[in-house]
């Protein structure tokens, strides 16, 4: 707050009052407080998230751990598109390679959002599954793998729509949480052209951070 007359200029700042002679003051200017909010000018961002995939235990873990990271760019309005990598742990370890689109409902520091990921699970290790069969190679059910044969992991596609909420605490940092529906397929192969296809439908729960 500033008041001045023909002889003195008074400035009130943070509860302190300063008095100057008019001759000692070069000029007095008025500034309007900026209405800028963190996140409003966001044209790209990196995000990193961790969480679990909750569902029926079609493998040895009922809630496998999931870690993902991506880079995203504004394409039009509140729409963003990006790509990323991750790590997930089922019976075997996998690296999700995915593209994603995201829509922010408000261009503000706090907003709900919709996110869609689609991609492929790349197997990072040999399969841990084994196929047990009561028939031997002489069986008329040929082809079949031999009893207790270990299967090779081949990965499979994934899709994960989700909704969430994010908040920027500064121009360059924010946090978010999201929940959605994860569907993915894991494929296995064995001897004699044996194939196994496993489909998972799970609830995805994620928390993460945003950087730019």
pLDDT digits (tens, 9 = 90+) for 114-143: 999 999 999 998 766 655 555 444 444 555
103 falls in which pLDDT band (50, 70, 90)? very high
More confident residue, 8 or 34: 8
Average pLDDT over residues 78-96: 94
Nearest in space to 186 (alpha carbons), one of 6, 3, 64: 64
Which CATH topology does 44-211 take? Answer: Porin (2.40.160)
Sign of CA dihedral 110, 115, 120, 123: positive
CATH 2.40.160.20 domain span(s) along the chain = 44-211
Element (H, E) at 168: strand 152-170
What letter does residue 7 receive in the DSSP assignment? S
Tell me, what DSSP letter sits at residue 43?
A: S
Report how far residue 161's alpha carbon sits from residue 152's, in angstroms, rounded to the nearest whole number. Answer: 29
Neighbouring CB atoms inside 10 A of 25's CB total 13
Query: What separation in angstroms does the CA of 55 have from each of 61, 161, 186?
Result: 9, 16, 16
């Amino acid at each position: 707050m500033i008041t001045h007359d023909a002889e003195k200029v008074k400035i009130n700042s943070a509860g302190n009052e300063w008095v100057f002679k008019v001759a000692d003051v070069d000029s007095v200017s008025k500034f309007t407080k900026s209405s800028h909010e963190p996140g409003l000018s966001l044209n790209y961002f990196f995000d990193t998230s961790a969480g679990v995939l909750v569902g029926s235990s079609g493998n040895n873990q009922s809630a496998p751990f999931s870690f993902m990271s991506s880079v995203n760019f504004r394409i039009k309005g509140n729409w963003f598109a990006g790509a990323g990598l991750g790590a997930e742990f089922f019976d075997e370890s996998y690296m999700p390679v995915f593209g994603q689109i995201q829509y922010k409902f408000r261009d503000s520091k706090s907003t709900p959002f919709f996110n869609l990921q689609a991609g492929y699970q790349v197997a990072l290790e040999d399969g841990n599954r084994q196929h047990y069969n009561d028939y031997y190679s002489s069986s008329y059910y040929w082809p079949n793998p031999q009893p207790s044969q270990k299967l090779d992991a081949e990965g499979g596609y994934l899709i994960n729509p989700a909704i969430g909420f994010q908040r920027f605490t500064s121009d360059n940092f924010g946090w978010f949480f999201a929940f959605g529906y994860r569907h993915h397929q894991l494929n296995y192969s064995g001897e004699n052209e044996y194939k196994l296809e496993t489909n998972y439908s799970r609830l995805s729960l994620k928390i993460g951070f945003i950087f730019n």
